[in-house]
Amino acid sequence: MARRLIIIEDDETWNFIYRQQLRDAHDIVIAAEFECAEDALQQLPQLNPDVAIVDISLPGISGLEFAEKIQEHPSMKIIFVTSHQEEYLSNHNTHGHLVLAKGDKKGLLSTLSV
Amino acid sequence: MELTGGKLVDKQSAILTKVDLQTLTRIELENLVLELQNQVHQSTSDQIDYTKTTGIPQKSLNKESLQEREERLTALMNHNPSLIFLKDDLGRYVYLNNSYKRQFVGTKDWYGKTDFDFWPKESAELFIKDDQIVLDSGKMHQFLEDSTDMEGKRYCWLCYKFPFTDSKGKKFVGGIGINATERVIAQEALHESEERYRTLVRYAAAGIYEIDFTSERFIEVNDAMCQILGYTRQELLALSASDILDEESKKIFLNRVKLAQAGQQLDNNIEYRVCKKGGQVIWGLLNLRFRWENGKIAAASGIAHDITERKNAEEALRESEQKYRLQAEELAAANKELESFSYSISHDLRTPLQALKALSSILIEDYANKLEPELHGHLRRIVDNSDKMSELVDDMLRLARISRQEMNVRQISLSNIVETVVNELYQAEPDRKIDVTVAEDIVTYGDSGLIHIALSNLIGNAWKYSSKTPDSHIEFGMMLKEGEPIYYVRDNGAGFNMKFANKLFEPFKRLHSDKEFSGTGIGLAIVKRVIEKHHGKIWAESEPGKGATFYFTLSLTPKDSENI
């Protein structure tokens, strides 16, 4: 069964890029795309996704804050994306979730294949 | 008459006084001489009442012979260490006492001889001149005769000379000469030293003054003091210290006097604002030494310097220091702004560049077959250039981050860090054949993370630029210069032309083409920044084809670990 994935990203260019990159991912279906974390939180119960690609820098609630708020969905895998990966190398706020550089196709595909 | 225990008859009161002949006053001596005169003249008369003086019954004294009296007199004269003499009006000696004979005549005949026979010409002339004054005036005189004897030894005579006419009307000059040489010499020495002191004070470069506290006026001022204040000596001696001080300084001065009077110890050199004649105010450095009399301050003396120039210079220095400090602050602020700006630009460029790269990759990978072949080349070039741009931005960010980073300063082992870096390089290139020498136990103070970055770049460069050299060799070590350690990384690789040495540490300035050795040229700029954050210096020496040596110093101490 295909895994359901949501994208929370405010820059449309990156939505396009993720979509394109995800075409090479096996059994992944993009269930929804959100421009901000608040919208995603609202829809989360109905959607019940398996994976989420979350931009760390979002307007309003940040990607990190989003991760804190979704404790009710512990089974959802979160993949953080950022332009400044090095700033989060030893960051405790990421709660153990993977932090990828934006545009890193290889990293994205490899973490999804697990 | 004997010197000590001699008895002098005071004609007026007939009281016996025991005196030392040497300290006789003029009046006493006059009386003595008169008395002697009397004795010589009135040898037969009994005008002196001896009963009152000696207690010998008058009756028996009357029977004393002339001879006995003359013997007594002679004894008195001859025991006197002073010179006692009598000359006639032509300067011929008719009497000399034993002291005179013993010291200046010897065994020669003396009766009828003159001063020219006993003294050198100049001294004799002096004596005779004085004799003449006495003869001409008919009065007793006191002279200070500065003479020399036949051997050239100096004698100063305090000489009492008196005129005397005998019963036959013949004129004589009598005299008593007291040796005052030592006293005169001492006085002259004192006078000379006083003169020297006076000259010193008068011409001293600093103002020297004395204030009397009763009159509250200057009682002594030297030339420099007058010059400093612009007054003449006369004018200044009519002024008091308060007159030359401005309002505030006056208060300070009077307060100090009060404290000193109360017995408090004060420091001596105080800066006052002093008013010159005409009102101009200058800065004076005055010190005061108080002189006490009966528990009160009687006077004060001191030295004054005009320190106006010095004070002005100090003020100017303070002002310029202030100016420089402000400038430095402004510069630091501007630098910080620039750094911040450069950081945010690099920061913000990242995302679009990443998007550029990702989109280009998509085009190349996913649409390759749909594109015309020549477009592949164009795309490739777009990707390559945006890669390059990304790298540059990444480098700029890395460089900016070095400056922004807070340092964690502690003791670190450079040897260990170098070993780690070398291991990292071997892991990336296990097949590389290279000889690496690392000096052991080199420790210093610094931020280990930043130093790791710096050494990674330096050793990495050495590794990279010697990759084309057979038998490549890298060395890390330390040497001492004037007690300070200088660390170095040396390789025998490509080296560089020293002509461009000043460009070495500038960001993005490369001395080799990308074809020869890859890189963006940010490495050394990063190293320099790390070294500078450690208050050190870095420089390099090289010869093309002969390798390069990079030297650097680190100047942090344990104390710095608190401040950075």
SS (H, E, C) B468-504: CCCCCEEEEEEEEECCEEEEEEEECCCCCCHHHHHHC
Q: What is the pLDDT of residue B419?
A: 95
- Report the SS3 class of residue A81: strand
Residues of B in contact with A20 (CB under 8 A): 362, 366
Residues of B in contact with A105 (CB under 8 A): 358, 361
pLDDT of B80 strictly over 70: yes
Residues of B in contact with A17 (CB under 8 A): 355, 358-359, 362
Q: What is the pLDDT of residue B7?
A: 47
* Lowest model confidence (mean pLDDT) among A31-40, B386-395, B484-493, B508-517: B508-517
Residues of B in contact with A10 (CB under 8 A): none
CB-CB under 8 Å, B347 with A17: no
CB-CB under 8 Å, B355 with A17: yes
CA distance linking residue B380 with residue B388, whole number of Å: 12
Q: Taking the CA atoms of chain A, what radius of gyration do you get in angstroms? A: 13
Backbone φ, ψ for residue B183 (5° rounding): -65, -40
Calculate mean pLDDT across residues B436-448. 93
Nearest of B158, B159, B150, B149 to residue B182 by alpha carbon: B158
Highest averaged pLDDT of the listed ranges B64-73, B441-450, B516-525: B441-450
Residues of B in contact with A23 (CB under 8 A): 366
CA distance linking residue B243 with residue B249, whole number of Å: 11
Q: Which residues of B sit within 8 Å Cβ distance of A?
A: 347, 350-351, 354-355, 357-359, 361-362, 366
User: What are the distances in angstroms from CA B350 to CA B244, B443, B494?
Assistant: 75, 38, 34
Predicted complex: ipTM over 0.85: yes
Render pLDDT for A61-94 as a digit per residue (tens, 0 to 9): 999 999 888 876 678 899 999 988 888 877 777 7
Distance from CA of B457 to the nearest CA of A (A): 18
Residues of A in contact with B354 (CB under 8 A): 83, 101-103
What is the DSSP code (8-state) at residue B407? P
Instruction: Produce one character per residue of A31-41: b if its CB has 16 or more CB atoms within 10 Å, e if not.
Output: bbbbbbbeebb
Query: Does residue B472 contact residue B462 with C-beta atoms inside 8 Å?
Result: no
Q: What length does chain B have?
A: 564
Query: Does residue B479 contact residue B485 with C-beta atoms inside 8 Å?
Result: yes
Q: What percent of chain B has pLDDT over 90?
A: 40
Q: Residue B358 is nearest to which of A17, A23, A84, comparing CB atoms? A: A17
Tell me the residue type at B252: I
Residues of B in contact with A85 (CB under 8 A): none
Distance from CA of A10 to the nearest CA of B (A): 13
pLDDT of B556 strictly over 90: no
Calculate mean pLDDT across residues B351-368. 86
Query: Does residue B500 contact residue B511 with C-beta atoms inside 8 Å?
Result: yes
Question: Binning pLDDT at 50, 70 and 90, where does residue B63 land?
Answer: low
Q: Residue A83 is nearest to which of B350, B359, B361, comparing CB atoms? A: B350
Q: What is the pLDDT of residue B541?
A: 94
Distance from CA of B354 to the nearest CA of A (A): 6
Residues 80-109 (A) with a CB less than 8 A from some CB of B: 83-84, 101-103, 105
**Residue B329, token pair as written in the block:** 């602050």
Q: What is the pLDDT of residue A26?
A: 85
Task: Indicate the average pLDDT of chain B.
Answer: 84
Render pLDDT for B269-301 as a digit per residue (tens, 0 to 9): 888 888 888 888 899 898 888 888 888 888 888
Q: Residue B351 is nearest to which of A20, A23, A102, comparing CB atoms? A: A102
CB-CB under 8 Å, A101 with B358: no
Q: Taking the CA atoms of chain B, what radius of gyration do you get in angstroms? A: 54
Residues of B in contact with A83 (CB under 8 A): 350-351, 354
Angle between helix B448-465 and B414-428 (nearest 10): 50
User: What are the distances in angstroms from CA A24 to CA A13, A52, A107, B155?
Assistant: 18, 17, 12, 133
pLDDT of B487 strictly over 60: yes
CB-CB under 8 Å, A83 with B351: yes
Residues 6+ apart with CB under 8 A from B180: B144, B156, B157, B158
Q: What is the pLDDT of residue B19?
A: 42
